[in-house]
Amino acid sequence: MKNDRQRTFLLITLPILALFICFNTIPLIRGVIYSFTNFKGFGKYDWVGFRNYIDLFSDARVGKSYLFTIKLAVVSTVVVNVLSIALALCLNSKIRAKGFFRGAYFLPNILGSLVVGYIFNYFFTYILPAVADMAGISSLSTSILSSPSKAWIGVMIVCAWQAIAMNTIIYISGLQTVPEDVYEAGGLDGATGWKQFRYLTFPLIIPFFSINMVLCVKNFLMVFDQIMALTKGGPAQSTESISYLIYNNGMSGGQFGFQSANAVVFFIVIVLISVAQMKFSGSKEEQL
Amino acid sequence: MKGKRLKCLGTALCCLAAALPLQGCGASSDKVEIEIVQYKPEAANYFKTVEDEFNASHDDIHLTISSPNDAMTILKTRFIREDYPDIIGIGGDINYSYFVDAEILADVSDYDGLNDINQGYRDIAEALELVPTEGTYIVPYVANAAGILYNRDMFAEHGWQIPETWDELTQLCDSIQAEGILPFYFGFKDTWTCLAPWNAMAVELSPSDTTKQVNRGETTFKDEYRELSEKYLQLLPYGPDDPFAYGYNDACTAFARGEAAMYPIGSYATPQILSVNPELNIDSFVMPASDAKEDRTLNSGIDLGFCVMAECQNKEAAYEVLDFLLEYENMQKYIDDQNAVPCKNGDFRLASMLDGMSEFIQSGNMTDYQDHYYPSEMSVDALLQTFLLEKDVDAFLGNFDTSWLRYNRDIIRLVQEYEKSH
Amino acid sequence: MKHTSTVGKSNKLVLVLLILGLTTIAFPLYLTIVIAFKQPSEMTNSISGILSLPKTWSLNNFREAMEVTNFWHSLRNSLLISVLTVVLSIAIHSLMGYALGRNKAHSKFYSFVYLFIVSGMFVPFAILMMPLAKQTAELGLANWFGVIILYVVFYMPMNIMLYSGYLVNIPMALEEAAKVDGASTWTTYWKIIFPIMGPMHATVAVITALAVWNDVMTPLIIMAGSGENTLPLAQLNFQSQFGTNYNLAFASYLLSLIPILIFYIFCQKQILNGVTNGAVK
């Protein structure tokens, strides 16, 4: 009996693992090999040893992009998770027109980035300054996207606006695993509102919380579409994310080898962050 | 219940699969296949017509032209797969230089059609090679020109004259401003637009081979670009208050709606402007950046040229296709369609918004864009945007020099090796 | 009595909050619709101009957008790729999620495989692009089928994470009961575990379908030169550096939004059905 179980698990795991290695690990290794060359993306190339990696650590632009990306990721992750949990709880409660609301709040995620870019550019460039003028807030009377110190806030807002939909879906499906009788029992003990959430609901959706945290951190660290749609790295290179640099200079420009090195380092950084995150939330899960 | 649903799903999938196109059965037989990939999606309709006309009139060659968006990414991924088209249509910029250096283009110096190409553009093409080569690798097709677009009706109404020197330009701007009109519109949020006035002034203020001189170690950008940078800053007060808030599209719309008298950009912007306001009467003039009007030269470069790939199996057929593309009627059609400047000699009809530039085009007085020599990964456009925001000439030029050495290390080594051996 | 009245009150509050939040979605949506109906000559930079209704409500933009993108053909390609990817993802990823989720706590091997695959999520796509373009061509997969395989691999890490997270709340007792009845692990999975994960299947379907539906890069580099388009690829035709027809583009985006929205609403029902079935306890 036990053997059957183990054999089945192996028969499931091995072929799928092989598929994964073939289309993820092997290309990655090939990419890592390019990071030791001055390959432009076409034509001939030379081996340059560790030059790309040494350059990477002395490149101010790369350093700046790491700072920007991490700042964006941390703030967006917090904002998105707080709002998505709240939204998921709201959408999961007994309200009218639930289906309508769920559909509506899903929309930001499906609007193409050209549309999102155009609308938010318009909003930040014309509408927000006009509103701020009327309200007498002078710090917002010029477009925040044109200020190197404030543009990241615009990017953050759009990232959050788009990401909340997906995270909410995951939280909603997490809330489905919370059995009704937990609330009934809790209701008898007088747990309502915040207390009910903190001591009954939240512990039960911790696996989903940690999934969302990991996905958020990953998605925001790898932010690309929103940058392309909104600022293209400007103003004054203040919103160049790491993925933007890797794609723009590696694929569109002729720095494929160097940006492969950047991608390798970046990959290691995200894996470390995420493993730490998973370890942390894993220990939380075990406590329960 | 479950089983039924699964069956439905299965049937649906089978239907979808059956609806698939049968791939892999390529076009037939004895005809020579020629495939062109060209990088200007806005000219897709023109190339579709050319393709149809060519195939209707030729029995021995079958031509396919694709005009994909993001063609450079597509080309690069196809190169790495060794799936080369026969001819590529690209611009005369750093990518072309890289392609020549990578030896993936065929030498077309034996192509007769080259003799009809304007010598000015042939020289520009030669200059783009990182180190001089024996061969010719591109057939220049059409060019674009950058300078200043102006609202012709507004100028006529106020009796403003076309400036021919830098001082006349600033005086003109002052008098426009005095009448409560915005002289320039800028769309600096899109960083690439920062390059338009820069290029247009650079052709007069610094040598056309500045970057090559720097690569040879003969000069620095600090010396060559100082006047240019200072003059660029002087333009800013004549633009909108916060030019970094507006993108290219905003600027086109604003200019089309008469919110500014002039817009320093290339001729390529006119279709977008006219789509907003088809009635607008646009003309252009050459950006006067120096004090002597004889110094003026038109900022013009190869917008589209055709390169035969080294892998092309049938050069004769490729040349026949090029002949067809270069036929007078076809070129005229392209020019009308895209407001382009032809690279071929001949009596072509130019769009009216190029009136102010036509004497320069006819006399061959033109100089290539400086940015065609900048590697795109250095993001000079973004450096310029930073400079315009911070207005610090020394910091900008210092950064320009160090970044240049960093991003061009391999090219500089190539150039210096070449210098040593020649 | 008292109890129900407080519930009613808080629900009204929730409703008000939800409606307020809705404005952040209604406004962009309104702009999208209005712009999709306007002509390029109606575009201005003034706020009243952009907010105004189009002069005529003509469907011409939609008609033209459908023509430019070869709508039905591109839609078919997009549907084919999305549907097959979703079906394969649900089948393969849920199995893998089950195998890994049930074993990673006590087996070093499975926990390594789990971390190995999940870390694949963090590989920047740009570094894979060139090698994948080459590899798919070498394997004869430079077509829609190659795109589907790549998607199944790309979304594997995230989906496996989701499935094994969901399994934590599914008690082992269910499987053990089946084992007592003499069912093999394989049968137990398909008969008991797979149906219980219904809400998760719907979640995975939505997330995967959405990512696939909007993706440009993978088909761009894999199907380049094949002459076949997906909807997002075809929509690239509306923008170029020197000019973008926003009106046609917005019309086209509105059109391509409809299928995925319908799919989402359908999946939402499935996510909820999981509870009413009372399967999870």
Q: What is the pLDDT, as a whole number, of residue B383?
A: 94
Q: How far is A209 from chain C (nearest CA, A)?
A: 10
What is the rounded distance in angstroms from the CA atom of residue B295 to the CA atom of residue B201? 11
- CA-to-CA distance for A42 and A44, rounded, in angstroms? 7
Dihedral angle computed from the Cα positions of residues A101, A106, A107 and A108, in that order, rounded to the nearest 10 degrees: 120
- Is 80 exceeded by the pLDDT of residue C273? no
Residue of A nearest to C171 (CA): A177
Residues 6+ apart with CB under 8 A from C91: none
Q: How far apart are CA A1 and CA B126, in angstroms?
A: 77
DSSP letters, B126-153, are: HHTSSS--SS---EEEEEEEESEEEEHH
Contact B162, B173 (CB under 8 A): no
Q: Are C272 and A177 an interchain contact pair (Cβ–Cβ within 8 Å)?
A: no
Neighbouring chains of B at 3+ CB pairs within 8 Å?
A: A, C
Exposed, middle or buried by CB within 10 Å (0-12, 13-18, 19+), for B387?
buried
Positions in chain B whose pLDDT score sits under 70: 1-29
Q: Which two tokens stand for residue C127?
A: 């570094």
Q: Which B positions 315-374 lie with beta carbon below 8 A of chain A?
A: none
Q: pTM above the 0.90 mark?
A: no
Q: In this complex, do B102 and A44 lie within 8 Å of one another by their Cβ atoms? A: yes
Q: Which of B114-118, B399-403, C136-140, C170-174 is predicted with the least confidence, judged by mean pLDDT?
A: C170-174
- For A144, name the nearest residue in chain B, comparing CA atoms only: B245
Helix count and strand count (H, E) for chain C: 15, 2
Cα of B306 to nearest chain A Cα, Å: 18
The answer to whether the CB atoms of A145 and B245 lie below 8 A apart is yes
- Chain B residue numbers touching A41 (CB-CB < 8 A): 76, 79-80
User: With bands split at pLDDT 50, 70 and 90, how would you rate the model's confidence at C91?
Assistant: very high
Residue B2: its chain C contacts at CB < 8 A? Answer: 195
| Pairing of the two strands B366-367 and B148-151 | unpaired
Is C45 at the interface with chain B, CB within 8 A? yes
Which pLDDT does position A174 carry in this prediction? 84
Please state whether C175 falls in left (phi above 0), alpha (psi between -120 and 50) or beta.
alpha
Q: What is the pLDDT of residue A44?
A: 81
* Residue in chain C lying closest to B256 (CA): C44
Across the range C211-230, mean pLDDT stands at 84
**Would you state the pLDDT for residue A286?**
59
Give yes or no for residue C246 having a pLDDT over 90: no
- Average pLDDT of every residue of chain C: 85
Residues comprising chain B, all counted: 422
Identify the pLDDT of residue A187.
65
Put simply, whether A237 touches B (Cβ < 8 Å) is yes
Question: Does residue C278 have a pLDDT over 50?
Answer: no
| Res B419: pLDDT | 86
* Yes or no, beta carbons of C225 and B74 under 8 Å apart: yes
B42 vs C contacts (CB less than 8 Å): 240, 242-243
> pLDDT band for position C196 (50/70/90)?
confident
How high is the pLDDT of residue C182? 82
Minimal CA separation from A287 to chain B, in Å: 39
Do the Cβ atoms of C225 and B268 come within 8 Å? no
C115 touches chain A (CB under 8 A): yes
Residue C225 scores a pLDDT above 70: no
- The answer, for B12 touching chain A at a CB cutoff of 8 Å, is no
Distance, in Å, from the CA atom of C281 to the CA atom of C110, rounded to the nearest integer, reads: 26
For residue B233, what pLDDT is reported? 96
pLDDT at C275: 46
B94 CA to chain A: closest CA distance, Å?
9
What per-residue confidence (pLDDT) applies to A265? 94
Chain A residues with CB inside 8 Å of C265's CB? 99, 102-103
> Which residues in chain A come in under a pLDDT of 70?
1-2, 186-192, 284-288
Name the more confident of C153 and B71.
Answer: C153
Q: What is the pLDDT of residues C157-168, one digit of tens each?
A: 999 988 988 887
Min distance C79 CA to chain A CA atoms (Å): 15
